[in-house]
Amino acid sequence: MGWVLFFDGDCAFCSAAVGRVARFDKGRRVAFAPLQGKLSAEMGFTKYADEPNGTMVLLRESDSQIFLRGDALIELARALGGAWRVFTVARFVPRSLRDAVYQWVADHRHRIMAPALHCPFPDPELAKRLRE
């Protein structure tokens, strides 16, 4: 694995997004870990789970570089490769604008997808890529 995507494990929107990323990641380059998990605590990322509006964190394992918010989405597009690389042009959009759009979605994510009463167990292929 080359990247680890840390996500809000208590968010139905975020969990659904992880499922989509896993399906699009044909090269299986991305692993997943909840921000509330052990690995996140060891890496010092649990502070991002406590942010009121959430923040995804993407760790590139080759050089331990960390990407947040809009930068994480751009790096994730690079990680997925193929046609997804077209979204890397977003790096030319000012970070303040990218992060404002990211923040708007984060602010409204619970309205976009209501919190689930329970978290469905991921499919077996995704479960193999989850890190605690």
Give the tens place of pLDDT for each residue, 54-90: 678 889 988 999 999 889 999 999 999 999 999 999 9
The domain of 101 spans: 3-126
Q: Is residue 42 part of a domain?
A: yes
Strands 30-34 and 65-68: unpaired
Contact 30, 88 (CB under 8 A): no
The helix (run of H) or strand (run of E) holding residue 110 is helix 95-112
The total domain count for the chain is 1
Please choose, from the candidates 119, 131, 122, 120, the residue with its C-alpha nearest in 3D space to the C-alpha of residue 30. Answer: 131
Give the tens place of pLDDT for each residue, 23-56: 999 899 999 999 988 999 999 988 887 666 667 8
Residue 20 has pLDDT above 50, yes or no: yes
Residue 18 has pLDDT above 50, yes or no: yes
DSSP, collapsed to helix, strand or coil, labels residue 1 as: coil
Q: Is residue 132 part of a domain?
A: no
Among positive and negative, which fits the CA dihedral 34, 42, 45, 20?
negative
